[in-house]
Each structure stands twice: as structure tokens, then as C-alpha cells.
Amino acid sequence: MAGRGRGSASSVAALLCAAAILVASAPGAEAGATYLVGDAAGWTRNVDYGQWLAGKTFHAGDMLVFKYNATYHDVVWVSKGGYRRCIVSPKGRAPVYRTGYDAVRLHAGTHYFICGAPGHCQAGMKLAVKVY
């Protein structure tokens, strides 16, 4: 009985220890770089975001900031298919940002963003970011 008690106590200690390690690593994970999408042009039509991406390497924890006029634009985090076909998919489920100044924290993988306003994605408002 006493042994079992000590066993569960040390399990709790191990959990607390693991939690402490997670908390300790969190500040490092947040210390990523911040990128203003499109630099001075911001998030708008007729910008070559492929060119903006050239030479940049993104890491988990980095942040993208989309700056735009919210009267005309928004930011929709879509699937690969949504990006390729310029459609918001899956319908109604993709995160949509529309404040005009949206910061998005990136995790590892490839992430796809488009503007949801009619015709804007086709006019170049699309961004595919590979994150390491």
C-alpha cells in the first residue's frame, strides 16, 4: 500500500517536472521572427508574394503580420486546394481574419493564405509559406 502511494507520488512529480520543462521551453518557442507580409506594400492586390518570399526561411514560432485596408481585404487561412483554386475551403471553417492588422503565429508545415474578396486571390493575393 505504502509502495503504491509512493509510486503515484513520483508519477505526479514526473508530470510536474514535464510540465515545468514545457513551460520553460515556451519563451524560446515564442521568440521567433516577425515578418510584415509584402513589407511596405502590405497585403494587397498586384504584389508578387512569391518574390517577397524569396530568400526568406520561416521557422516554427515565427509570426506573419498582414497589414491591409479591411474595407477591401481579409486574410483566410486555407487548405492547399483552396490556395491553388482560390477558394475558401473547407467552406466556413477556415480561420478568417479581418482587422486590417492580423498577426498569425506559424507552426511547422506549409501554410496557405488568400484574400477572400472576389477576384483578389486571382490578382495575386495568395501566399504559401513553408515553415521549418
Ligand X SMILES: *[C@@H]1O[C@H](CO)[C@@H](O)[C@H](O)[C@H]1NC(C)=O
The dihedral formed by the CA atoms of 47, 52, 50 and 126, expressed in degrees to the nearest 10 = -50
Determine phi and psi for 61, rounding to 5 degrees: 100, -15
Quote the DSSP letter at residue 103.
E
69 interacts with ligand X by CB under 6 A: yes
Residue among 8 and 71 whose Cβ is closer to ligand X = 71
Residue 40 binds ligand X (CB under 6 A): no
2, 71, 91, 92: which one binds ligand X (CB under 6 A) = 71
N-term to C-term CA, the chain: 49
Q: Is 125 in the site for Cu ion (CB under 5 A)?
A: yes
Tell me whether residue 32 or residue 52 sits nearer to Cu ion (CB atom). Answer: 52
Long-range CB pairs of 82-90, under 8 A, 24+ apart, other chains included: 82/112, 82/114, 83/112, 83/113, 83/114, 83/126, 83/128, 86/114, 86/121, 86/122, 86/126, 88/114, 88/116
Number of residues that bind ligand X (CB under 6 A): 2
111 binds Cu ion (CB under 5 A): no
Applying CB under 5 A, which part among 18-26, 28-36, 46-54, 119-127 lies near Cu ion? 119-127
Supply the minimum distance, in Å, between the C-beta of residue 117 and ligand X: 13
List residues near Cu ion by CB under 5 A. Answer: 73, 115, 117, 120, 125
List residues near ligand X by CB under 6 A. Answer: 69, 71
